[in-house]
Each structure stands twice: as structure tokens, then as C-alpha cells.
Amino acid sequence: MSEFSVKDLRTGLGVRDPSLVDVGKSELGRALHVAPGDSGARVRAKVLVQVERAIDAVAGQDDYLRMLLRYVFNTPADRELNRLTQGGRLGEFAKADLRAADGTPFVKVAKGTTSKLTFGLGVLIEEYWDAHPPVPLTEDEISAREEEERRHALGIAPEANVELDAVLVEEGLRDYNLGERRGIERRLASLRLHFEVLGPCVVTVRTSDKRELVCAFTRPDLLADYWRTTGRRLGHPAVGGGARLLGVLARGKDLGLLVNPFTGDADKGYWRPDQVALLASDRSGA
């Protein structure tokens, strides 16, 4: 397919359709500053940023319209949603508990009615670009979105929770002596661990010296205590096997693991990214 239109950005899989790798050869691609030689990841990053900028400009203060447009064009980083065609995404939009920035629930139109609006919604974006041609993105903007999409594909939240009190993290890390870590390390892969997720992605935290890690807990009440201690809850609780979590972190690269931070639990430990990778490798080879 050599010709693309704004309609192709919303129908089918929307902006996540694999065929968009060739959009750089079209007039639309040139308008979005996509080059014919761009990699698939670079194409997706450019298209996503340009579409989301247009959505934000068109929606203005209308949070409902913004969310509807995002579902129509398939921009949210949600692996389950991203696999759906436009009809499926509109069905999910009709069912989802979506709220405005002030927490007010949206009063949404029915799925069938919403479907009739999609052509007009596409026209809104097209008309915006006609009046305000997209400007080229900076390399930093492209790289940041590529990294966000890479993390999304691996199941890691787009951004670390940098607002977590770094002092608490540092104090927690200092508590973990080798003896304590050895005690839990032998059982780590077989443990059921509780951690925070945002949508389908694991939430991370960052330390004052720029280390990024995941906080996990051996009991659900310890995760709840952690939220109360830090005052920073972004998502929802999740539970999974230690081996699986180690695998996710190892694929993400440069991610450490902190078990039972800020608790009196004896089973605690901190593993650097290289140690996480080694444990994951040992488990996969077992």
C-alpha cells in the first residue's frame, strides 16, 4: 500500500497497524515528517506523537472528546486495546470507567451511536492539520516516544514514578545486607509477588542516583502498607510468579528489583539489573 489517508490512522488497528511502516512513501507521511527510510519503531513514534498533538489541540478542555479520539485512533498504550479493530475499541470505550481530569464520570454515548461519529472525528483531525501543518519532531521527542513504546511492548510502565520520595528508597536499599538477600534469593523464582501495575504495565520507581527498579512484596498487606508509607499510588495491585517478574525486568534492561521495602518483614532484598538478568537466566535454563 503506497497511499495513506487520515482514515487509515483510525480504521482497523489505527495508528498501530503494521502497514503504516510504509506511510513515509505517501503524501500523508511527508506531511507528518516521516521519512521513507525510517524504521518501524521510528515511524510509529512519529505518527503517535503527531496524532496525539492534534487530538489535544482539537479536544482542548473537552476530556470526553480527547479520550474518544484516542480510542478511535488507538493511541493509548494498552496491549489489549491495541489488538482490537475500531469497532472493538469503540465497544471498550463504551464499557470503560473513564473519568474527566476532575474525577467526574463521563456520560458516554452508546456504541452504535459512537460508530456513526468516527468519520466526523477523522475529519476534525484532517481539518486541524490542513490549518496547522505538523511541525518536525526533535530527536529527543522521537527517542522518548520510541523508548516509551519499547517499554509498553515489554509490559513496563511508560515512566518511572519519579515523585516517590528518593530518601525512602535510599534508606530501603541500605537495609538489605547480603545475609537477608541470600535467604530469599533461593526462593525468589517460586514466590508469588505482589506489585503495582498501571493498565497492563508494571510500575517502576527511581532512586536519587537514577537507578530504576520495581518494588514487589511477598504479601498483599505489605504492598498496601508501602502505599500508605510513601503516599504514592499510581495504579492497581497485581500478583504474579517471581520467575515471570524476573523475566519481564530482565527484558526491560537496567531494571532492579526491591522486595519488601519499608517493612519489618525478614524476607527482603535488592538485586541490581545485572543480578536480575542472571537470576532470570538461571531460571530459564533450569
Q: Which of 106, 125, 152 is the last residue of a domain?
A: 152
Does 223 fall in a domain?
A: yes
3-state secondary structure of 104: coil
Q: Does residue 277 share a domain with residue 208?
A: yes
Mean pLDDT of 217-235: 85
Closest CA to 255 of 221, 209, 207, 204: 204
Same domain, residue pair 94 and 170: no
First to last CA, the chain: 46
User: Reduced to 3 states, what is the DSSP secondary structure of residue 109?
Assistant: coil
- Is the pLDDT at 105 greater than 90? The verdict is no
Mean pLDDT for all residues in the chain: 82
User: Does the pLDDT value for residue 259 go beyond 50?
Assistant: yes
Same domain (yes/no): 172, 148: no
Name the 3-class secondary structure at 231. coil
| Statement to judge: residues 266 and 143 lie in one domain | no
Question: What residue type is 74 in one-letter code?
Answer: N
Would 122 be classed as within a structural domain? yes
Do 108 and 98 form a contact (C-beta atoms < 8 A)? yes
- Please tell me whether residues 95 and 228 are part of one structural domain: no
* Model pLDDT for residues 18-62, shown as the tens digit of each residue: 999 999 999 999 999 999 999 999 999 999 999 999 999 999 988
> Which residue type sits at 216?
A
The CA distance from 200 to 247, in Å, is 16
pLDDT band at 242 (very low <50, low <70, confident <90, very high): very high
What is the domain-level CATH number for residue 170?
Answer: 3.40.1350.90
> Which of 102-106, 174-178, 258-262, 265-269 reaches the highest mean pLDDT?
258-262
With a cut of 50, say whether residue 115 has pLDDT above it: no
Query: What pTM, to 2 d.p., does this model score?
Result: 0.64
Domain of 249? 166-284
Same domain, 96 and 225: no
Q: Work out how many domains the chain is built from and give that number.
A: 2
Residue 234 located in a structural domain? yes
Give pLDDT, residue 216: 93
